[in-house]
Amino acid sequence: MKRICVFCGSQVGKNELYQSVADELGKLLVQNHIGLVFGGGSIGLMGVLADSVLSSGGEVIGVIPSALATKELLHPNVPDMRCVASMHDRKALMSELADAFIALPGGYGTFEELFEVITWAQLGFQRKNIGLLNIAGFFDPLIRFIDHAVEEQFISDKHRSLIVVENKPDELLKELASHPLPEVPEWLSRDSI
């Protein structure tokens, strides 16, 4: 893995552990020679993570829609900032630049980005691993909900395994590196992805 796209909140959340683990993940990315692709913001966990990678001498690529690239939101210290026209363009470019995905705690935007890449993997449109960094059990209710959807036969066991869940950043990076890549469905030509 050369680069990992990280989805995370534009807020820091009320638990200080969210920030400290985001900082730890940033340092681990640099130690493992993995670049960061992120949403380009200077605020919230996005800013904490980017600052950690930058201060450790790592590669950071920000991708932000022009409408959000105000002095408040755009991270001023990211040397490779890509401004795009829309949120759709943002997600497409982030996916193109990354070899895997990680979600940290966040809100609607984080959830939407996460579920889009899971759906792309399920449909065979991308073959990259997806991880949840379950800091302080943040994703426990979501994991229970996904497992409920499996029990109710809306998600298959095979597709449930698309999501790697770990509580510690080092364990998540190891698991993402060794986890089997998503399969391409038989109905989808390998040449089309």
Over residues 34-56, the mean pLDDT reads 97
Decide if 53 is inside a domain.
yes
| Model confidence, pTM | 0.93
pLDDT band at 193 (very low <50, low <70, confident <90, very high): very low
Query: Does residue 192 fall inside a structural domain?
Result: no
Question: What CATH code is carried by the domain that includes residue 38?
Answer: 3.40.50.450
Share of the chain above pLDDT 70, in %: 95
| Predicted confidence band of residue 100 (pLDDT cuts 50, 70, 90) | very high
Q: What is the pLDDT of residues 108-118, one digit of tens each?
A: 999 999 999 99
- Determine, yes or no, domain membership for 56: yes
- Determine the pLDDT at residue 173: 98
Domain that holds residue 110: 3-178
Higher pLDDT, 188 or 3: 3
Asked whether the predicted pLDDT for residue 70 surpasses 90, the reply is no
Does 188 reside within a domain?
no
pLDDT digits (tens, 9 = 90+) for 159-186: 999 999 999 999 999 999 999 888 877 7
In the block, tokens 């959807």 appear at 149
Rounded to an integer, the average pLDDT of 14-41 is 98
- How many domains are there within the chain? 1
Q: 124 or 95, which is more confident?
A: 95
Confidence class for position 68, pLDDT limits 50, 70, 90: confident
111-154 per-position pLDDT tens digit: 999 999 999 999 988 999 999 999 999 999 999 999 999 999 99
In a domain, 190, yes or no: no
Residues 6 or more apart from 145 whose CB is under 8 A from it?
Answer: none
